[in-house]
């Protein structure tokens, strides 16, 4: 007996979530290879400890807020929590555009990390797929993240030369968008599995 294939709704949900992850992580990864070089131009950027804090602040706030975001998504829904996190991340990115000193850069990176949607997106992926296909969706998301990291290592120096750190932060904010708009629609996947489409 042939294994049951993923439904169109499941494929679309997986591609949409992988896109959210990928674009968000691409913008984030673009900053990492060049920020230490750029920090020398910032007021207070000569303090290597502060530069390190600016780089690590994202991960710290992200780690602290993963569980609260997950709990919020359980209570108020996945998509509201997801969109809230994306808006917070975008706000941090645009704050980074205005960062002319290392302390503002730290605040921007902290605010970026405060949009801790990883747990929400994984929970949404589980909600929108059948159990036998969840590992495929996780693999799609993981492969997208890895591809974006590789692309950033090559593209970040070129992009920094072209638009500077302000441009990279602005691009990061612009890439942080909801996967799609519209109202939720309930679709019937193969085998009678009901799923609310991620893409409305």
SS3 116: coil
CA distance 176 to 5: 31
Mean pLDDT by 10 residues, the chain (200 residues): 74 85 81 88 89 90 91 91 91 92 94 88 86 86 90 90 90 72 42 43
SS3 43: strand
Do residues 196 and 82 lie in contact, with contact meaning Cβ atoms separated by under 8 Å?
A: no
Fold for the domain defined by 17-179:
Growth Hormone; Chain: A; (1.20.1250)
Does the pTM surpass 0.75? The reply is yes
**What angle, rounded to 10 degrees, do the helices at 118-127 and 8-39 form?**
170
pLDDT score of 69? 92
Do residues 197 and 12 lie in contact, with contact meaning Cβ atoms separated by under 8 Å?
A: yes
pLDDT score of 2? 53
Do residues 198 and 16 lie in contact, with contact meaning Cβ atoms separated by under 8 Å?
A: yes
């Amino acid at each position: 007996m042939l294994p049951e294939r993923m439904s169109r709704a499941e494929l679309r949900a997986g591609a949409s979530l992988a896109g959210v992850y990928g674009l968000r992580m691409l913008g984030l990864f673009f900053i990492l290879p060049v920020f230490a070089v750029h920090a020398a131009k910032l007021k207070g950027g000569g303090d290597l400890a502060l530069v390190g804090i600016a780089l690590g602040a994202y991960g710290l706030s992200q780690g602290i807020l993963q569980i609260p975001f997950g709990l919020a998504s359980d209570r108020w829904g996945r998509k509201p929590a997801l969109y809230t996190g994306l808006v917070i991340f975008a706000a941090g990115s645009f704050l980074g555009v205005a960062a002319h000193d290392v302390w503002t850069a730290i605040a921007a990176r902290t605010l970026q990390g405060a949009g801790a949607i990883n747990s929400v997106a994984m929970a949404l992926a589980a909600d929108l797929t059948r159990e036998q296909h969840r590992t495929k969706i996780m693999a799609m998301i993981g492969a997208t993240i890895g591809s974006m990291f590789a692309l950033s290592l090559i593209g970040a120096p070129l992009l920094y030369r072209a638009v500077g750190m302000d441009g990279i932060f602005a691009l990061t904010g612009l890439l942080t968008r909801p996967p799609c708009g519209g109202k939720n629609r309930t679709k019937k996947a193969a085998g009678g599995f009901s799923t609310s489409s991620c893409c409305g």
